[in-house]
Structure formats: C-alpha cells, structure tokens
C-alpha cells in the first residue's frame, strides 16, 4: 500500500471512529433514558435490557451481527466489511462503556426525539460516507442498496427499521415510545441523506444567448468550468441557436450570473439543481457508491 493511500485509509478510520463516538453518545443520552423506540438489532438489545438490566445492549448487538456480517462478506467485499466490523465493534463497546460510566437523566421525550434524530443522522452519515455501517439494519440497508441502487440509503433504512419500532412499543407497553421513535427515525434519515448527498450541492445552467462563444470562453477562464453547446431552435423565430449547458458549484452562481449579464444582458438563463454530478472537477465514480 502506498503512503498516500495509507494516509487516506487512516483518515477514513478516524472519521468512522468519530462517527461511532457520536452514535454511542446519542443513543445513551437521548434514546435509552427516555425509552424512545430504536430500530435495528439495537432495538432487540433495548428490549432484552429492559427485561434484564444485566444484559448489555452493546453485547447483544455484537453477537446478533455475526450472521449478517457473514452474509455481507459475500456481497459487499472485504473493505466494506472490515470498516463495518470496526464501526460495529466501536459503537457496541462504546454504548456499554458510556452506560457504565454515566447514566444520563431522562428529558422531554420530544426534545430527545428531535436531537437524538439529528445527532444519530449525522453520525450515521459520517460512518456511511466512508463505506462502513454499524451492522444490523444499517448493514441490511447497505445490502438492499445493491438491487435498489436508485433509492437513497436513508429511505431504505427507514423501511427496515419501522418493524423494529413496533416491537419496542410492544415490549415497553407504550405506543408513545414507538411514535417518538418514528419521529426520531424520520429526522435521522433526512439528516443522514443530507450528510451523504446534500454536501454535493451542484447546479446546471442552460444559457440561451447571442454570444455563446464569448460566454463559454469566459466561463472557462473565470470559473474554470467547461460548457457544452446544444443545438436549439427558436419556436417563434425558427432561428437556430447554440444553447450553453454548464455544471458548476452552488457558490459559483453569483459570478456566473454577473458574467452572463456583463457579456449579454439579454441572455436567457435557467439554473437547475443537479445531483450526483460526476466527472472532472466533481465527484469520481466509486464501485458500490451510495
């Protein structure tokens, strides 16, 4: 392994470790003391711990994940499973360690649901962004991502976790526990998808102008972005025109508009949101990308 690749791998595992710490603190702080429903194998750990406090939640998760990891090894490959094993072990150990060191007091369940969902979503986004999972339904969702590649990972996780929330509600004999859990789960999936996909904020502009060559040259010069000429025709004038198409980062929208207005105040500009932009200056394709 080359030195740059090793350094990149170390950074990835540090990021996964930080996400695991946030995950564990969030679980012990917001979910356990307030008996808020939680999805996945952790929900089974909560149920067993509810009936017997001698059963550690993290240990239950660790044991139940073994068959899932054996299944995942076949479909996801070594790197994803090793990083997931690291994340799963870290979160399982930290959940029990933090619970042994400090017991967080209960708080308003709605506050716990909201802030628990936000912090858990951030932590899962951090872990998933490096190709790892925390095991359980996270790993199940990662496996489902293979046949359902077009679905966001957070939505897949939402579907898989809803059944476990029902089980927690039955065990705690509290429908409110499941209802708060649904609120928290929904928030966490939105936040996680925002961490995974929302940071890649790009735009695509369509520019109808009488000076396509000049504007394309300035876009390349000032914004370091390429443009593509599309052949168009005016519906009324029947005049053939070159339409510029240009992908760019959101922070470049102001200089782009200023540039176009300076060169051609009569230009017609359409700016649209763009997702999953791949190529030079943007993301690179990665196998099993989320």
Q: Is residue 64 part of a domain?
A: yes
pLDDT in tens, the chain (290 residues): 555 577 888 999 999 999 999 999 999 999 989 988 877 777 777 778 777 878 888 887 778 777 777 766 666 656 677 888 899 889 989 999 999 999 999 999 999 999 999 999 999 999 988 888 777 766 677 666 667 766 776 677 777 777 778 777 887 788 888 899 889 988 998 898 888 876 556 889 999 999 999 999 999 999 988 899 999 888 888 888 889 999 988 888 899 999 999 999 999 999 998 766 766 666 665 554 55
Are 76 and 140 in the same domain? yes
112 touches 30 (CB < 8 A): yes
CATH value at residue 230? 3.30.70.120
Are 9 and 137 in the same domain? yes
Q: Is residue 108 part of a domain?
A: yes
Tell me the residue range of the domain where 122 lies: 3-198
Q: Is residue 85 part of a domain?
A: yes
Are 194 and 261 in the same domain? no
Q: How many CB atoms lie within 10 A of CB 9?
A: 14
Domain endpoint, select from 134, 167, 198: 198
Q: Is residue 281 part of a domain?
A: no
Q: Is residue 284 part of a domain?
A: no
Are 119 and 156 in the same domain? yes
Q: Is residue 81 part of a domain?
A: yes
Q: Is residue 280 part of a domain?
A: no
Q: How many CB atoms lie within 10 A of CB 247?
A: 18
Are 35 and 90 in the same domain? yes
pTM score of the predicted model? 0.68
Domain endpoint, select from 142, 170, 198: 198
Q: Is residue 152 part of a domain?
A: yes
């Amino acid at each position: 392994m080359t030195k740059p690749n090793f350094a990149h791998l170390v950074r990835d595992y540090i990021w996964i470790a930080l996400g695991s710490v946030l995950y564990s603190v969030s679980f012990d702080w917001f979910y356990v003391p307030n008996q808020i429903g939680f999805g996945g194998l952790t929900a089974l750990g909560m149920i067993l711990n509810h009936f017997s406090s001698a059963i550690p939640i993290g240990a239950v998760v660790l044991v139940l994940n073994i068959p899932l990891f054996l299944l995942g090894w076949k479909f996801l490959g070594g790197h994803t499973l090793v990083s997931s094993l690291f994340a799963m072990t870290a979160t399982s150990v930290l959940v029990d360690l933090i619970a042994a060191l400090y017991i967080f007091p209960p708080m308003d369940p709605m506050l716990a649901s909201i802030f628990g969902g936000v912090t858990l979503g951030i932590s899962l986004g951090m872990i998933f962004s490096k190709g790892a999972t925390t095991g359980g339904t996270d790993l199940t969702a990662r496996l489902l991502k293979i046949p359902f590649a077009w679905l966001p990972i957070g939505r897949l996780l939402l579907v898989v976790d809803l059944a476990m929330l029902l089980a927690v509600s039955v065990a705690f004999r509290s429908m409110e526990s499941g209802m708060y859990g649904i609120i928290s789960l929904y928030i966490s999936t939105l936040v996680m998808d925002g961490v995974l996909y929302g940071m890649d904020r790009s735009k695509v502009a369509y520019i109808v102008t009488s000076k396509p060559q000049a504007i394309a040259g300035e876009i390349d010069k000032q914004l370091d972005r390429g443009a593509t000429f599309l052949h168009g025709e005016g519906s009324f004038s029947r005049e053939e025109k070159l339409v510029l198409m240009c992908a760019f980062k959101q922070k470049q929208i102001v200089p782009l508009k200023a540039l176009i207005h300076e060169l051609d105040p009569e230009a017609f500009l359409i700016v649209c949101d763009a997702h999953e932009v791949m190529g030079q200056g943007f993301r690179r394709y990665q196998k099993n990308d989320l």
